[in-house]
Amino acid sequence: SQQGEEDPQALSIQEGENATMNCSYKTSINNLQWYRQNSGRGLVHLILIRSNEREKHSGRLRVTLDTSKKSSSLLITASRAADTASYFCAGPNLGGKLIFGQGTELSVKP
Amino acid sequence: GAVVSQHPSRVICKSGTSVKIECRSLDFQATTMFWYRQFPKQSLMLMATSNEGSKATYEQGVEKDKFLINHASLTLSTLTVTSAHPEDSSFYICSASPPGPGGGRHNEQFFGPGTRLTVL
């Protein structure tokens, strides 16, 4: 079963624009994580936001968490062609296992 | 940061053969590693949790006799796909968490680069 559901499933933007991806989850979590995956490669951890945090920044990344709505968003500002990848949210279930959302496929055109 | 490696990165085999995939934590000890499977354009699905020194725990619907997991040391877990068939063709990814507060279970996981298995 999926912990997170993401939208949009695919997003195509021009270089320099901002990209926003959303994630909704089902059960209570103590943190939510965002990962990036380039085509055919492993995952790279981007950022972790804890349940008592509402917003977190890392470079051009901004993550928000709304536990009342069980949702999170990932914003990539001033996107670059190199940001083209799939982005996944993931949260630990009650057993501590990391369960992934369906992912958003981001395409940044130069 | 913590590094996880996988070997091989790509394997092609004939139907009916067995394939072993290795997952290593290079600069930390991992009592727990996780194995995921990913089909094209889809998300990662957790297959099993590999526990050092004990049996792996499998997710519902994953055949334990089909996907054998051995976690013989604190830095190595192996996944063996036995009697592989074309439907087993997929991208297999392992991950591990360095030890930390709460045993690292809720902290970020570090992923291997994945193994692309193609069964002919």
pLDDT tens by residue, B10-58: 999 999 999 999 999 998 888 889 999 999 888 999 999 988 888 899 9
**What was the pLDDT predicted at B102?**
46
Residue whose structure tokens are 């604190």: B74
Task: Compute the radius of gyration of chain B from its Cα atoms.
Answer: 14
**What was the pLDDT predicted at A25?**
87
**What was the pLDDT predicted at A1?**
43
Question: Tokens standing for B104?
Answer: 């690292």
**What was the pLDDT predicted at B8?**
97
Distance CA A84, CA B71 (A): 35
Residue numbers of A between 87 and 106 with CB closer than 8 Å to B = 88, 92, 96-103, 105
Calculate the alpha carbon distances from A80 to A7, A64, B76 in Å: 20, 21, 37
Model confidence over A46-60: pLDDT tens digits? 999 999 999 999 999
**What was the pLDDT predicted at B54?**
85
Calculate the alpha carbon distances from A74 to A13, A49, A63, B115 in Å: 15, 11, 5, 28
Distance CA B85, CA A15 (A): 42
Q: Which residues of B touch A (CB under 8 A)?
A: 4, 6, 34, 41-46, 49, 91, 93, 95, 105-114, 116
Statement: residue A105 has pLDDT above 80: yes
Calculate the alpha carbon distances from B72 to A39, A40, A51, A107, B51 in Å: 31, 28, 35, 41, 9
pLDDT band for B110, please (50, 70, 90 cuts): confident
Instruction: Report the mean per-residue pLDDT for chain A.
Output: 91
**Pairing mode, strands B110-111 and A71-76:** unpaired
* CA angle (A35 as vertex; A30, A41 as ends), nearest 5: 145
Statement: residue B82 has pLDDT above 90: yes
pLDDT band for A86, please (50, 70, 90 cuts): very high
Which of B49, B93, B109, B117 would you mutate first to test chain A, the one with the most A CBs within 10 A?
Answer: B109
Calculate the alpha carbon distances from A38 to A42, A94, A96, B96 in Å: 7, 29, 26, 19
User: Which SS3 state, helix, strand or coil, does residue B9 take?
Assistant: coil
Interface contact flag, B113 A102, Cβ < 8 Å: no
Distance of CA B42 to the CA centre of its chain: 17
**What was the pLDDT predicted at B20?**
98
Statement: residue A68 has pLDDT above 90: yes
Instruction: Report the mean per-residue pLDDT for chain B.
Output: 90
Q: What is the mean pLDDT of residues B68-87?
A: 94
Of A2-16, A53-67, A70-84, B60-74, the one with minimum mean pLDDT is: A2-16
**What was the pLDDT predicted at A4?**
64
**What was the pLDDT predicted at A3?**
54
**Amino acid letter, B77:** S
User: Which SS3 state, helix, strand or coil, does residue A52 take?
Assistant: coil
**What was the pLDDT predicted at A27?**
81
